[in-house]
Amino acid sequence: MNPLLALFDGLVYGSLLFLVAVGLTLVFGVLRILNVAHGSFYALGAYTAVILGLWAERALGSGWLSFPALLLAPVLVGGILGPLIERLVLRWAYVRPEVLQLLITFSLFLVLEDLQKLVFGVQPYFLDRPLQLLGAVEIGGVPYTRYQFLLVLVALLVLFGLRFLLRATPMGKILVAVVADREMAQALGVNVGRVYAVAFSLGVGLAALGGALASPTVTIAPGLGAEVIVLSFAVVAVGGLGQVEGAALGALLIGLGRSLAVYWLPELDVLVPYLVMVLVLLFRPVGLFGTVEVRRL
Amino acid sequence: MRWPLLLLALLVLGILPLFLPWLGFVFTLALAKGLAALGIALLLRAGLVSFGHGLFFGAGAYAVAFALREPGRGSQEATLLLLLALVVGLVLGFLVGLFVSRYRGIFFAMLNLAFSMVFFALLAKFYHWTGGTDGLRVPTPTVMGLVLERNVFGEVLFYASLALVIGLSLLLHTFLETPVGKALGAIQTNEVRLEYLGIPVQRVILLTYLLSAGLAGLGGGLTALAVGHVVPELAYWVASGEFVYIAILGGIGAVPGPLLGALVYELIRTFAFKYLAYSWQLLLGTTMLLVIFFAPGGIWMLLGERRQRVASK
Q: Per DSSP, what are the bridge partners of residue A144?
A: A137
Specify the CATH architecture of the domain A3-283.
Orthogonal Bundle (1.10)
Taking residues A221-228, what's their average pLDDT?
90
Give the mean pLDDT of B13-25.
85
What confidence tier does B72 reach under pLDDT thresholds 50, 70, 90?
low
Sign of CA dihedral B295, B299, B301, B306: positive
Q: How far apart are the first and last CA of chain B?
A: 15
pLDDT of residue A151: 94
Within 10 Å of residue A18's Cβ, how many Cβ atoms? Answer: 32
Cβ of A285 within 8 Å of Cβ of B103? The answer is: yes
- The reply to whether residue A96 touches residue B292, judged by beta carbons under 8 angstroms, is yes
List CB contacts (< 8 A) between B122 and chain A: 271
Residue A209 scores a pLDDT above 90: yes
3-state percent breakdown (helix, strand, coil) of chain B, nearest 5:
80, 5, 20
Q: Taking CB atoms and an 8 Å cutoff, what residues of chain A touch B288?
A: 103-104, 106-107, 110
**A226 touches B: beta carbon within 8 Å:** yes
Give residue B311's pLDDT. Answer: 46
Closest CA to A200 of A39, A19, A29, A15: A29
Contact A297 B125 (CB under 8 A): no
Å from A49 to nearest chain B CA? 22
- Would you call B192 and A99 a contact, using CB atoms and an 8 Å cutoff? no
> DSSP string of B95-154?
HHHHHHTT--HHHHHHHHHHHHHHHHHHHHH-HHHH-GGG-EE----BBTTB---HHHHH
Residue B309 has pLDDT above 50, yes or no: no
pLDDT at residue number B1: 60
Amino acid at B84: L
Q: Which long-range contacts (CB under 8 A, 24 or more apart) does A48-51 make?
A: A48/A73, A48/A76, A48/A77, A48/A208, A48/A212, A49/A73, A49/A74, A49/A127, A49/A211, A49/A212, A49/A213, A49/A215, A50/A125, A50/A126, A50/A127, A50/A215, A50/A220, A51/A120, A51/A125
Does B106 contact A92 at a Cβ distance shorter than 8 Å? no
Residue type present at position A286: V
In this complex, the residue of A96, A108, A282 whose CB is nearest that of residue B285 is A108
Higher per-residue pLDDT: B184 or B302? B184
Give the closest residue to A73 by CA, choosing from A54, A55, A47.
A47
What ipTM did this prediction achieve? Answer: 0.87
**Cβ contact (<8 Å) for B241 and A106?**
yes
**pTM score:** 0.90
Q: What confidence category does residue B313 fall into, taking pLDDT thresholds of 50, 70 and 90?
A: very low
Instruction: Kindly indicate the confidence band of residue A267, based on its pLDDT and cuts at 50, 70 and 90.
Output: confident
List, for residues B27-60, the tens digit of each pLDDT value: 999 999 999 999 999 999 999 999 999 999 999 9
Residue B214 C-alpha, separation from nearest chain A C-alpha, in angstroms: 22
Segments making up each domain of chain A, as ranges: 3-283
Query: Chain A closest CA to B59's CA: distance in Å?
Result: 17
A139 SS3 class? strand
Which helix (H) or strand (E) segment holds residue A103: the answer is helix A98-120
Mean pLDDT of chain A: 91
Nearest-Cα residue of chain B relative to residue A35: B106
Output the pLDDT for position A23: 96
The answer to whether residue B278 scores a pLDDT higher than 80 is: no
Q: Are A212 and A42 in contact (CB under 8 A)?
A: no
Query: A65 to chain B nearest CA, in Å?
Result: 32
Q: Is residue A295 predicted with pLDDT exceeding 90?
A: no
- Nearest CA to A40 out of A260, A270, A225 is that of A225
Our measurement of the distance from residue A189's CA atom to the centroid of its chain's CA atoms, rounded to an integer in Å, reads 31
What is the number of CB-based contacts under 8 A between chain A and chain B?
127
**How close A114 gets to chain B, by Cα (Å)?**
6
pLDDT in tens, A100-140: 999 999 999 999 999 999 999 889 998 888 888 888 888 88
What average pLDDT score do residues A85-96 get? Answer: 92
Burial class (CB in 10 A: 0-12, 13-18, 19+), B167: exposed
The pLDDT score that the predictor gives to residue B310 is 47
Contact of B55 with B92, CB cutoff 8 Å: yes
Residues A229 and A216: their CA atoms lie apart, in Å, by 19
* Cβ B84 vs Cβ B146: under 8 Å: no
A233, B190: Cβ pair inside 8 Å? no
Give the 3-state secondary structure of residue A19: helix
User: Angle A169-A170-A172 (CA atoms, 0-180°, nearest 5)?
Assistant: 65
Hey, what domains does chain B have and what are their CATH numbers? 2-312 (1.10.3470)
Q: What is the average per-residue pLDDT within A229-251?
A: 93
A194 touches A91 (CB < 8 A): no
